[in-house]
């Protein structure tokens, strides 16, 4: 519309004006005319200096007259638009056709987006291809990831990804050295690359190569539900109950109820009914399920396709979780004999993946060791070296005062969280928190609650707390006591009160309260508070007797609330705690044939980063073939090693990372990734006009909608690139000039009529 | 080992010192239980007479009430007819009350880091909901124990959920009654003779031999384990032919050898520490 209007007034395409240079080409007569116009202006001003009418009317009429004379003078000076135009058939044009799966989406006038490509580029004697061929020598490329030369028959629209930047860079390099007028990119713009477009655009801009983008498809799908994102942990202990956030968005299904199913390798493990959010507003839905099988597990989060949906492939998301079946060791240091230790240990005793080793101080300098692996373990009391403490993955401090530790031990505990990445849990008790003298210590820095030595609870003062989950607690698996949020809240409300002897008035800025308690004065107190600190995390659980949730007369014998609570909390305590060799698979899935990038952190037993370790990845492919890939220190981050692992066949790849130093093993660990085609093409698969416009604007090209490419071939002539000739376009006879002249004359006449000077 | 020896020595010293002090004061027991001095003194005098072979015909027992606040309270289990704080004869469940209870609490709090009520205790029936707040309970004279249906259900739940019970002060055919009543509570439970190697005898003091002459004869220790599995939690322990309570009760009088009271306290302390950690 804008183009048509522009052409009506200016007789030329906007591209010509944007690429052209404005000049004047006056003849000798032009200067004579200028003198005449100057005389005419002088006479005009003289005439309107006095006479009839008000002063302001005379000024307005004089202005109109002078403008009219100026316009005439401009035309007499012969204004020109000088533009470089490509010489027909002397230049090349790169045409990039999107061959990815998203081009199968049927939102181009009821047809697939691919239909536009077939219509316009399907035959050399029609459509856009003909228009371009008449002016340029065409080089056609298809792209999804990397570009390649194609004929129309090669297009299958089944590429599993779209990498706009890689395609543009590839074609630019392919056409290097040729007189190229520009590039034309036909795509929906749904870029699936992890990297930004900036680098590719920088190269094009540096070379002055304009990209003319044509967007195919709609910017909003009329009816669609999308599972946009699923946030899952990379690893989990076997048997852990997880609560993950599933981000849903939709259009055309406001308020509709749908079911989110979670499948573990095809087996339904959870189902939950939700109401869809408002259109265009993504909503995060917490979904609860358990991982019961060890090994690499692909969890699929799916919303059943609804009638009328344009894209159903984006109704499901997959996530890889490495489910580990191993025993995680937790050290529980309790400063006084009390029932909390007994019932906590009992709660997790049936958990095959948790071992709580207890160091129970029974009297001054007298300890009882429970659950130790060797006769020497903890024989000298609480660990005195980092190597000894860091062998545990979680640490629970019961009612044990800060004075029971040396200064170095307190720093070790802080480093256990910060550097080792372990989980710290402090339990309520008369010797815990500020009452236990922790304010101002290194441990206080780590805890998620603020300790103030001047704000301790009076001795023998006990608060009785009714505990309930906060909003954050309701969205966390650790505080879920039933299958649904409503049932869980009801369960919490039915639990007996617990007692607390610690005064906690504030939490740290980055901390989250998951459970809160109401005391006898209706005051809210934090009960379970959590924060991430350094590489690890810390918890504060303020009651001194959660065992009441097991023993109380109102609790049935077979009730598992207490057991479930502690299993979930302790599993979370050790969740994600790193090993000495800790892999971070950057991509859990790659396309078959692509390389998987793996990074790993390597540390010594006291978790100091090692930069001189020999690290090797032993890769076992789906066909059983084994290969060793060395990992190299990245030279930038201490203790971080990188490797690129090639893939061939689709399937699971096991990567066993082994680190040695000086001939001694530092550690080893196993991770997995898979090579498989994905559905990423169908996520956020609307036509990305903003992205395509940015490409065009940054490179000096133009963006077109698929239905408005009529001027594309002509516009391409004026990029100024390649073999060109100079064209001069006279501007004095443009329709807009005539309209202005007539308009000014009419304006003067009309004004006179209105003010009575006609 | 050194710590155990030191703690044992501390008990002996404490017991001896308490005995001498109280004897010098003419066995004025008001210092032991100031809150209930009158009742305590009366019961104590009754106990002393009993130790000499006599019994009072009528007794008044303050049931006591230690409201739960997180501390350990000595819970004495009451059974039999409804009790209003007064009995024509000292009921068997009340034997050694209250001096045994409070003496034990005092020793426990001095020797260990267990936070306890000192001069308050609880006397609770097996179907009392408050019993669940005190996972260790003590029963005297189980040979006379009788159970209502409600008590049976309450006690079963208490043990299954994690409670621990000490049966003390019984001999001869009293054991048959204990076994019979416990069969009603836990029909599948088996009494298992305890070995000196069991953790309950090493939780605080190192008790390496059970070859002990009890109050009524050679003592035997038997227990009931969770799921009848000796590797699992000990839920109940019975001191057959023994009377720890009696020895705790008179530990401040000099009527009994210090060594006997000393050993009795060791068993009691170990029971509590074990039950708090296992």
Size of interface A-B (CB pairs under 8 A): 93
Task: For residue A460, give how far its alpha carbon lies from the nearest alpha carbon of chain B (Å).
Answer: 8
CB A409 within 8 A of CB A384: yes
- pLDDT tens for A334-360 read 999 999 999 999 999 999 999 999 999
Q: What is the pLDDT of residue B15?
A: 52
The sheet with strand A283-290 has its strands ordered as A224-231, A241-251, A283-290
- For residues B233-243, give the mean pLDDT: 97
Sign of the dihedral defined by the CA atoms of residues A63, A65, A70, A71, in that order: positive
- Parts of chain A belonging to CATH 3.40.50.410: 88-217+687-722
Q: Domain A328-574's class?
A: alpha beta
- For residues A370-383, give the mean pLDDT: 96
What the block records as the tokens of A143 is 């792209």
- For residues B224-228, give the mean pLDDT: 97
CB B200 within 8 A of CB B237: yes
Does A547 contact B135 at a Cβ distance shorter than 8 Å?
yes
Which superfamily does CATH assign the domain made up of A88-217+687-722 to?
von Willebrand factor, type A domain (3.40.50.410)
Task: For residue A406, give how far its alpha carbon lies from the nearest alpha carbon of chain B (Å).
Answer: 20
pLDDT exceeds cutoff 90 at B222: yes
Q: Domain range spanning residue B248? A: 2-277
Nearest CA in chain B to A338: B276
- For residues A466-486, give the mean pLDDT: 92
| Architecture per CATH, A581-675 | Sandwich (2.60)
Confidence of residue A678 (pLDDT cuts 50, 70, 90): confident
Does A363 contact B3 at a Cβ distance shorter than 8 Å?
yes
Which domain CATH number covers B112? Answer: 3.40.50.12140
Q: What is the pLDDT of residue B14?
A: 53
Task: For residue A393, give how far its alpha carbon lies from the nearest alpha carbon of chain B (Å).
Answer: 22
**Distances in Å between the alpha carbon of A482 and those of A242, A267, A286, A477?**
13, 21, 14, 10
Say if strands A536-541 and B116-125 run parallel, antiparallel, or are unpaired. Answer: unpaired
- For residues A95-105, give the mean pLDDT: 91
Does A368 contact B277 at a Cβ distance shorter than 8 Å?
yes
Task: For residue B83, give how far its alpha carbon lies from the nearest alpha carbon of chain A (Å).
Answer: 22
Residue with the two structure tokens 């000894």: A388
- pLDDT tens for A41-98 read 898 888 888 777 788 888 898 899 899 999 998 998 889 988 888 888 889 999 999 9
Chain A hits for B108, Cβ within 8 Å: none
Does B277 contact A499 at a Cβ distance shorter than 8 Å?
no
Chain B hits for A501, Cβ within 8 Å: 70
Q: What is the pLDDT of residue B22?
A: 38
**Distances in Å between the alpha carbon of A292 and those of A296, A480, A499, A574, A605?**
12, 18, 35, 17, 31
Task: For residue B62, give how far its alpha carbon lies from the nearest alpha carbon of chain A (Å).
Answer: 24
Going by C-alpha positions, the residue among A410, A416, A421, A395 that lies closest to residue A532 is A421
- Spatial neighbors of A300 by CB under 8 A, at least 6 apart, are A262, A263, A316, A317, A318
Sign of the dihedral defined by the CA atoms of residues B183, B187, B192, B197, in that order: negative
DSSP assignments along A316-364, one per residue: EEEEEEEEE--PEEEEEEESS--HHHHHHHHHHTT-TTEEEEEEEEEET
Q: Which of A53-57, A363-367, B154-158 has the lowest mean pLDDT?
A: A53-57
Chain A hits for B130, Cβ within 8 Å: 553
Does A364 contact B163 at a Cβ distance shorter than 8 Å?
no
Does B113 contact A365 at a Cβ distance shorter than 8 Å?
no
Task: For residue A464, give how far its alpha carbon lies from the nearest alpha carbon of chain B (Å).
Answer: 9
| C-alpha atoms less than 13 angstroms from C-alpha of A736 in its C-beta half-sphere | 10
B276: buried, middle or exposed (CB in 10 Å: 19+, 13-18, 0-12)? buried
Q: Rounded to whole angstroms, how far apart are CA atoms A451 and A377?
A: 32
Chain B hits for A552, Cβ within 8 Å: 132-133
* Domain A224-322 bears CATH identifier 3.40.50.970: no
Confidence of residue A371 (pLDDT cuts 50, 70, 90): very high
Chain A hits for B72, Cβ within 8 Å: 338
Mutate to test the interface with A, among B7, B112, B113 (most CBs of A within 10 A): B113
- Parts of chain A belonging to CATH 2.60.40.10: 224-322, 581-675
Nearest CA in chain A to B203: A368
Q: How many domains does chain B have?
A: 1
A459 touches chain B (CB under 8 A): no
Assign 3-class secondary structure to chain B: CHHHHHHHHHHHHHHHHHHHHHHHCCCCHHHCCHHHHHHHHHHHHHHHHHHCCCCCCCEECCCCCCCCCCCEEEEEEECCCCCCCEECCCCHHHCCCCHHHHHHHHHHHHHCCCCEEEEEEEEEECCCHHHHHCCEEEEECHHHCCCCHHHHHHHHHHHHHCCEEEEEEECCCHHHHHHHHHHHHCCCCCCEECCCCCHHHCCCCCCCCCCCECCCCECEEEEEEHHHCCCCCEEEEEEECECHHHHHHCCCCCCCCHHHHHHHHHHHHHHHHHHHHC
């Amino acid at each position: 519309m804008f183009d048509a209007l522009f052409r009506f007034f200016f007789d030329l395409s906007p591209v010509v004006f944007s690429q052209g240079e404005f000049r004047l080409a006056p003849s000798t007569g032009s200067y004579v005319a200028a003198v005449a116009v100057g005389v005419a202006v002088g006479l005009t001003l003289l005439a309107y200096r006095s006479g009839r009418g008000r002063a302001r009317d005379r000024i307005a009429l004089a202005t109109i007259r002078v403008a009219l004379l100026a316009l005439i003078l401009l035309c007499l000076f012969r204004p020109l638009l000088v533009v470089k135009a490509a010489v027909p058939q002397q230049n090349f044009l790169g045409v990039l056709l999107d061959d990815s799966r998203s081009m199968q989406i049927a939102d181009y006038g009821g047809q697939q987006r691919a239909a536009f490509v077939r219509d316009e580029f399907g035959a050399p004697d029609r459509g856009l291809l003909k228009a371009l061929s008449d002016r340029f020598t065409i080089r056609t490329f298809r792209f999804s990831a990397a570009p390649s030369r194609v004929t129309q028959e090669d297009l299958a629209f089944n590429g599993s990804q779209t990498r706009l930047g890689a395609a543009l860079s590839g074609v630019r390099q392919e056409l290097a050295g040729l007189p190229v007028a520009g590039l034309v990119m036909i795509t929906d713009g749904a870029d699936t690359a992890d990297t930004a477009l900036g680098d590719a655009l920088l190269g094009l801009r540096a070379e002055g190569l304009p990209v003319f983008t044509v967007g195919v498809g709609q910017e909003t799908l009329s009816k669609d539900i999308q599972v946009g994102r699923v946030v899952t942990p990379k690893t989990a202990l076997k048997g852990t109950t997880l609560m993950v956030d599933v981000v849903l968005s939709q259009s055309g299904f406001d308020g509709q109820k749908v079911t989110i199913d979670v499948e573990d390798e095809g087996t339904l493990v959870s189902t939950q009914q939700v109401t869809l959010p408002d259109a265009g507003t993504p909503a995060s839905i917490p979904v609860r399920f358990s991982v019961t099988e060890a090994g690499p597990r692909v969890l699929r989060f799916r919303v059943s396709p609804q009638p009328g949906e344009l894209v159903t492939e984006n109704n499901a998301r997959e996530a890889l979780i490495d489910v580990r079946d191993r025993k995680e060791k937790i050290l529980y240091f309790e400063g006084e004999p009390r029932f909390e230790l007994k019932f906590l240990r009992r709660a997790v005793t049936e958990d095959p993946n948790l071992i709580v080793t207890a160091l129970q101080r029974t009297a001054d300098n007298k300890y009882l060791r429970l659950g130790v692996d060797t006769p020497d373990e903890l024989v000298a009391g609480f660990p005195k070296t980092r190597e000894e403490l860091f062998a545990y993955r979680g640490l629970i401090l019961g009612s044990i005062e800060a004075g029971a530790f040396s200064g170095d031990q307190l720093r070790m505990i802080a480093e256990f969280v910060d550097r080792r990445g372990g989980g710290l849990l402090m339990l309520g008790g008369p010797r815990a928190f500020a009452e236990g003298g922790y304010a101002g210590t290194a441990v206080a820095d780590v805890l998620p609650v603020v300790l103030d030595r001047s704000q301790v609870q009076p001795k023998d003062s006990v608060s009785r707390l009714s505990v309930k989950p906060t909003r954050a607690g309701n969205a966390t698996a650790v505080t879920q006591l039933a299958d649904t949020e409503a049932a869980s809240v009801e369960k919490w409300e039915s639990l007996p009160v617990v007692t607390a002897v610690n005064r906690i008035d504030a939490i740290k800025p980055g901390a989250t309260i998951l459970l809160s308690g109401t005391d006898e004065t209706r005051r809210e107190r934090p009960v379970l508070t959590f924060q991430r600190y350094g590489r690890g995390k810390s918890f504060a659980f303020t009651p001194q007797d959660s065992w009441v949730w097991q023993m109380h007369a109102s609790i049935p014998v077979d009730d598992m609330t207490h057991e479930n609570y502690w299993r979930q909390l302790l599993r979370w305590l050790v969740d994600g705690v790193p090993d000495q060799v800790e892999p971070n698979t950057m991509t859990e899935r790659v396309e078959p044939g692509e390389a998987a990038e793996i990074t790993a952190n390597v540390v010594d037993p006291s978790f100091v980063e090692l930069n001189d370790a020999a690290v090797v990845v032993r890769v076992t492919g789906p066909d059983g073939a084994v290969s060793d890939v060395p990992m190299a220190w990245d030279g930038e981050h201490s203790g971080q090693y990188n490797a690129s692992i090639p893939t061939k066949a689709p399937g699971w790849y096991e990567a066993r990372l082994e680190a040695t130093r000086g001939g001694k093993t530092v550690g080893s660990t196993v991770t997995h990734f898979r090579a498989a085609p994905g559905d990423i093409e169908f996520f956020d698969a609307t036509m990305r006009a903003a992205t395509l416009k940015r490409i065009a604007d940054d490179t000096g090209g133009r963006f077109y909608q698929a239905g408005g490419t009529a001027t594309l071939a002509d516009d391409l002539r004026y990029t100024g690139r390649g073999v060109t000739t100079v064209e001069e376009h006279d501007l004095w006879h443009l329709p807009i000039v005539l309209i202005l002249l007539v308009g000014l004359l009419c304006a003067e006449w009309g004004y006179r009529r209105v003010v009575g000077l006609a | 080992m050194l710590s155990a020896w030191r703690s044992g020595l501390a008990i002996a010293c404490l017991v001896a010192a308490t005995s001498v002090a109280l004897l010098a004061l003419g066995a004025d027991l008001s210092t032991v239980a100031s809150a209930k001095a009158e009742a305590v003194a009366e019961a104590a005098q009754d106990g002393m007479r009993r130790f000499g072979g006599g019994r009072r015909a009528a007794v008044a027992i303050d049931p006591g009430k230690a409201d739960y606040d997180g501390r350990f309270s000595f819970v004495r289990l009451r059974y039999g007819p409804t009790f209003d704080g007064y009995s024509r004869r000292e009921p068997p469940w009340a034997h050694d009350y209250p001096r045994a209870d409070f003496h034990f609490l005092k020793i426990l709090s001095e020797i260990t880091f267990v936070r306890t009520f000192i001069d308050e205790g609880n006397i609770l029936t097996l179907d009392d909901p408050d019993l669940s707040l005190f996972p260790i309970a003590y029963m005297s004279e189980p040979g006379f124990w009788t159970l209502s249906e409600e008590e049976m259900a309450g006690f079963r739940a208490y043990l299954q959920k994690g409670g621990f019970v000490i049966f003390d002060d019984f001999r001869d055919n009293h054991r048959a009654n204990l076994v019979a009543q416990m069969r009603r509570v836990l029909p599948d439970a088996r009494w298992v003779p305890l070995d000196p190697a069991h953790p309950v005898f090493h939780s605080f003091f190192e008790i390496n031999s059970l070859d002990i002459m009890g109050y009524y004869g050679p003592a035997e220790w038997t227990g009931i384990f969770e799921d009848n599995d000796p590797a699992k939690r000990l839920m109940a322990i019975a001191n057959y032919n023994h009377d720890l309570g009696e020895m705790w009760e008179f530990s401040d009088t000099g009527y009994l050898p210090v060594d006997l009271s000393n050993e009795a306290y060791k068993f009691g302390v170990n029971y509590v520490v074990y039950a708090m950690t296992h």
